[in-house]
Chain A
Amino acid sequence: TPPITTFVQQLFPHGVPQAQASNYSSADTAVLLTLLADSKQQDLHANILETLGYIGDETTVAPIVAYIQGGRGVISAAQFRAKSSGLLALGYILNRNPNSSALLYLTDSLDHQTWQARDIAWTTAFFPDLISRDVQLVRQAAVGMTLSGSPQAAAALKRKLSP
């Protein structure tokens, strides 16, 4: 098992391999959170968020939420990919911790009005307007809820997304 910093520096075209990421533990999260706070390392951020998700430590929910919501102006493709991975990571953490606060955050995230209320100050070049950005964030939150395997998440998906 390589050191965590070496692990997240690899290119994973099909996403971070869960089996390998699961070799790391809560002892490695401090290193990952430090790298996440460094915008010079933004190319690693998507790998870091996926790995944090697979580690599944409840204490990382708040920093992940802060990462998703933080930032200003037009962000890079790498940063947007990482924020999207953050919503999946919350689903993975919920998978490991049925009482995780990630459940409420992801449930709220299924309403695009919630994203408006969160006053997100970043946007990307991909989306023509903030509504398209928020619709994409809702979709990604729904995928996170799916991957959690949580029955409460399933109920929320049904309640919020049924036509």
Chain B
Amino acid sequence: NSMLDEMLKANQTINAHGLDNYQS
């Protein structure tokens, strides 16, 4: 389920670096 994997990866990145950094 690659879509779920992508979502989990993005969730982790946002958790580690913050939503602000993820979006900019």
Contact = CB atoms under 8 A, between A and B. Distances in A.
Secondary structure dominating the interface of A: helix
Contacts of A149: 11-16, 18-19, 22
Contacts of A151: 11, 15
B11 A150 contact: yes
Contacts of B24: 18-19
Given A19-B24, A162-B4, A145 B19 contact: no
Interface residues of B, number: 17
Q: How large is the interface on A (under 10, 10 to 19, 20 to 34, 35 or more residues)?
A: 20 to 34
Contacts of A153: 11
Residue among B1, B11, B16 facing the most chain A CB atoms (10 A cut-off): B11
Given A18-B24, A147-B14, A149-B15, A142 B7 contact: yes
Which 9 residue pairs of A and B lie closest in terms of their CB atoms, listed nearest first? Answer: A149-B14, A149-B15, A146-B7, A154-B11, A95-B19, A146-B11, A146-B10, A161-B4, A18-B23
Interface of B: 1, 4, 7-8, 10-16, 18-20, 22-24
8 contacts: A18-B23, A147-B11, A147-B19, A148-B11, A149-B12, A151-B15, A154-B15, A157-B8
